[in-house]
Amino acid sequence: MKNEIANKDTESKLTMSTNGIATTDITRWKSYQKVLFRVAFIFFILMSIPSSKEWWTRTVALDWFNLNYRDVYDIARFLPEVPGLANYSKGLKSYNDWFVILGIGVIGGAIWTLLDRKRAEYNKLYYWLRVIVRYRAAIGMIGFGMQKVFPVQMAYPPISTLNTPFGDMTMQKLYWWEFGISPFYQSFTGFVELGAGLLLLHRKTTFFGAVLLAIALGCINHVNVAYDGNVHVYSTYFVVFGFFLMIYYVRDIYHLQFKENYTIPNHYYPAFKSSFWRFTRGGLKTINIILFLIYLPYLQYLNFIYDPYNQPSAPGVKKLRGYYEVVQFKINDKEIPYSPLDSTRWQDVAFEKWSTLSLKVNQFIPPSIAKRMHEPEVKRYVDQNGFGFNSGAPQRDIDRTYEVFAANRRSFYYRVDTVNQILYLQDKATYVNPGDSTRYKSSDSKHRIYHDDWISTDSEKYMVSEINAIPEAGKSTRRTRAYTRKVPLDKMRDRMVLHYQTDQTGRDVLLQGVNENNDSIYVVLQRLEKKYLLPESIFVGGRYD
């Protein structure tokens, strides 16, 4: 129960003190509280402000009249960075930047203490620090949750995944696919995260929002550590913010719940007497509501319908979609019989509903692009543009590697000439160890089988351009820029050109052409009409008609 009186001189709200009632004197802080606050103030201010050059460059370059959902989401999605220390590995090394920022906070707090010993309290600064942390956490949670409200973060498993042995999946993909099979549950978790963000936007519901935030993101942190995920740092970031916001209420909760005393909360907030501050406060709130609660959901809906960011968006050849057994395989006119141990013969092929062909072969498929970072051309490009040019939410279908990271399975992005029935395929994950001579391909053009002009001009006439492969409503400047920018990594992809023959049913398919090793291949496929125990969900993004 509150009983507060406004003190116009201090712009604070002080509770009436009565014998037998638990209350707190906020007019004078204890020495250790002031020291801890000074350190916390510096730490959380630095944690709440984007320090990455890439963030500022990307934000300034936004086309506000043709936004992608990721443009708005990326405004809220950032982590503090110390130049030269960003290290998102595993364990405590992941938090190197935080330790440095904490050190800055401790040193800054010590200097502050020496210069400001006589201050009795920091109520006003504490209030504004909580506002900054509240809004930082709120917009971050809204952006985080919106990707699950429309279930695109963990997309529904593709055909190739449904036919991949359990033990061949990487830990992270295993968790994502397990989550993806239940889009409605994923949407529910999105509403939980969104709810935490909404509660944090309002001062009176901050505690409940902070509790929900800490619980939801604590669970995400746990599964990312357990399943070798990539957002353990980002989830921990919000858990820390949630605990910081809850500290404000600890004393009152202790007296009420544990000591069972009649407790009157004694909280401070400023009186906005100036019309300038009232309009500024209202304007900033309005901007946040319009941008993150109206515009972002609209953009996220468009993304879900036309261009779900994790799975490719361009439709594949409709009559080829399905899972195929390789019944005959020839290489350089020599037939190779089936053997699960053979490292050359294809064992099965999956054509997804989007523009991906994947095949199972007894080869190790390294998942990491980091193996190619030593190459001068790639290093120079990354130094100039940052590796995040297409990371997080790749815009190009060839960069969307949702089907990749399963052992013994290669995934190819393809463009198709349906008139001459030609598939132009590029490997989605040819970033391999240069010491592996059986798979490594140098970017030097003299070692390439297919050069930059590998698609014939005749085929180009019958192809839909990659930018126009989705409906107009799903397009954005971000997507257009990604497709028009030259990416050196593309030169390092294995390529194949295969002619295909099939009837109207697509049950039997013949593929023949030249692979990335300049070998002629001849592959006969037969579709397997499988009945899956997992029913296909109706709540799945993308249009592939």
Residue 250 burial (10 A CB sphere; 0-12, 13-18, 19+): exposed
Look at residues 116, 114, 104, 83 and name the one whose alpha carbon lies nearest to residue 40: 104
Question: What is the distance between the alpha carbons of residues 224 and 228, in angstroms, rounded to a whole number?
Answer: 6
Question: What is the distance between the alpha carbons of residues 142 and 87, in angstroms, rounded to a whole number?
Answer: 26
Token readout for 119 is 């201050």
H-helix or E-strand containing 99?
helix 96-115
> 3-state class of 327 per DSSP?
strand
Domain boundaries, the chain: 4-306, 318-527
- How far does Cα 173 stand from its chain's mean position? 14
**What CA–CA distances, in Å, run from 236 to 149, 187, 217?**
21, 22, 7
Residue length of the chain: 545
Question: What is the distance between the alpha carbons of residues 188 and 145, in angstroms, rounded to a whole number?
Answer: 9
> 3-state class of 486 per DSSP?
coil
Residue 392: count of CB within 10 angstroms of its CB: 11
**Residue written as tokens 């499988």?**
530
**Residue written as tokens 């200097």?**
111
pLDDT of residue 206: 95
Burial per residue of 22-48, b for 16 or more beta-carbon CB atoms within 10 angstroms, e otherwise? bbeebeebeeeebbebbbbbbbbbbbb
Q: What is the mean pLDDT of each run of 10 residues along the chain (545 residues)?
A: 38 44 76 94 95 86 91 90 67 85 96 92 93 96 93 89 84 84 93 96 94 94 84 92 94 86 83 83 90 94 91 93 96 94 93 94 63 51 46 80 78 94 87 42 51 86 91 91 82 88 94 91 95 85 89
Maximum alpha-carbon separation in the chain: 97
Question: What is the distance between the alpha carbons of residues 50 and 508, in angstroms, rounded to a whole number?
Answer: 55
Question: What is the distance between the alpha carbons of residues 516 and 309, in angstroms, rounded to a whole number?
Answer: 28
Residue 462: count of CB within 10 angstroms of its CB: 12
Token readout for 176 is 């994502």
Are the beta carbons of 514 and 497 closer than 8 angstroms?
A: yes
Question: What is the distance between the alpha carbons of residues 121 and 124, in angstroms, rounded to a whole number?
Answer: 9
Contacts with 400 (C-beta within 8 Å, 6 or more apart), sequence order:
309, 310, 311, 312, 394
Are the beta carbons of 434 and 440 closer than 8 angstroms?
A: yes
- First-to-last CA distance in the chain? 59
pLDDT of residue 10: 39
pLDDT of residue 419: 94
Are the beta carbons of 509 and 320 closer than 8 angstroms?
A: yes
